[in-house]
Amino acid sequence: MESQNWAFPDELQPRPDEFAFDLDRALDALVLVRSEVPEQAFTAEILGTERLGNGVVIREDGLVLTIGYLITEASSIWLTTQSGAAVAATPLAYDQTTGFGLVQPLGRLEATVLERGSSHDVSVGDEVLLAGHGGRAHALKAKLHAKREFAGYWEYLLDEALFTAPAHPQWGGSALISREGLLLGIGSLLVQEKISEEAEQGNMIVPIDLLEPILDDLLSTGRSRRPPRPWLGIYTTEVSGHVVVAGVADGGPAERAGLHTGDVLLEVDGGRIGGMADLFRRIWRTGVAGVEVPLTIAREGRGMRIAVRSVDRADLLWKPHLH
C-alpha cells in the first residue's frame, strides 16, 4: 500500500484565509478507501487485488462517493477518517457509464458532509481544489484547464469531463472542490495535458452532475436503470488517424470472436469509424448488451468482417456469495 506520509509544498496547499468557507471542515469529508479484491475477480489482473484511494462523504448517514475502480468486485472495504478511525464498509453500487462508486460504512463515520455543487458553475481558468484524505497536506491548489469529451481505451466515454492541473499524485476518488466549498467532481485519472506550449501532468475528473440522475437507482438497485450497453472487451488506441485494437479482455466477447491486437477497426455496422469516441457511440447504438455487433477490420492489409456477440460487463464481475 502507498504511504500517506507526504505533503504538498506549502505554496501548493490551500490556506483557510483564502476561502470564504470552512476549509478544514470541508476537507474532513474526505476518507481513505482501502479495498481487497479476490484473485479470481475479473478486474484483479488489471486493477490489482489491493486498492487504495479516496472517497467523499456526501450524506449524513455516511454514504461515500468514490471512483468505481477502487471498489469494483471488492470483498472487503475499510474507510479511514481524518482522525485516523477505521470503519468497515460495503460497496453499494458501481456505475460503468459514469465510473462512480458508492460505499456505505457499517458503523458510525465521524466525518463531515461535503455539499454537492455543479460543474456548470465553474469555468475554464477558475481556481479549484483537488483534495484527498489527509487534510491540507493532501489538498492541492489547481486550475480548471479544460472541459471536453474524454474517451477511455476500455470502452468508456464522457461527453464532458473536467481537466485540472497541476496533477494530484493520489487522484483516485479525490474531491474537486470549488472556491465556494462545493463538490464539483471525483478524480479518475492522471493525464498528459498541453498547457501553453508544454505538456504537463494533470487529472481527469468525473463531473458531479452525472450523479444526480442515477443516485436513487444506485441506492435502490446497485446500478442505473439504463439498459446495459453492449460491451466487447476491447482495449483501443488511436494511431495515425486510425483506431487500433491494443488488446482484448481474456475470455471476453472480442477474444472469442477472433479479434487480435493490431487489428485496425474500420466500420461498425457499415458506418465508418471516426475516432475512439465515435467507435464507442456506434457500438452502443447497435442495441443493448447481448446484441451482435458487426465490425469491419483491416488485418495485415486485408479487409475482414467479424461479428462480436456483446455482453453486459456487469455479468462478468465477481459478486460476494451470500449464505
- Give the model's pLDDT for residue 225: 92
Total-model pTM = 0.95
Do 109 and 124 belong together in one domain? Answer: no
- Give the model's pLDDT for residue 2: 56
- Give the model's pLDDT for residue 192: 87
Q: Is the dihedral of CA 43, 48, 49, 52 positive or negative?
A: negative
Q: Give residue for cell 441506492.
A: 219
Band of pLDDT at residue 319, cut at 50, 70 and 90: confident
Here the CATH number for the domain that contains residue 271 is 2.30.42.10
Do 96 and 145 belong together in one domain? Answer: no
* Model pLDDT for residues 51-65, shown as the tens digit of each residue: 999 999 999 999 999
Task: Look at 1-5, 89-93, 161-165, 199-203 and tell me which has the smallest mean pLDDT.
Answer: 1-5
Which residues neighbour 280 within 8 Å (Cβ) at sequence distance 6 or greater?
151, 155, 156, 157
Do 102 and 124 belong together in one domain? Answer: no
Q: Cis omega before residue 105 (within 30°)?
A: no
Do 94 and 159 belong together in one domain? Answer: no
Q: Give residue for cell 482484448.
A: 248
Q: 99 lies in which domain range?
A: 10-113+214-221
- 56 occurs within a structural domain: yes
How many alpha carbons fall within 13 Å on the CB side of residue 134? 23
Q: Residue 322 pLDDT > 50, yes or no?
A: no
Task: Domain count for the chain, please give it.
Answer: 3
* Model pLDDT for residues 141-155, shown as the tens digit of each residue: 999 999 999 999 999
Which residues neighbour 11 within 8 Å (Cβ) at sequence distance 6 or greater?
none
The grid coordinates of residue 157 equal: 466515454
- Give the model's pLDDT for residue 193: 73
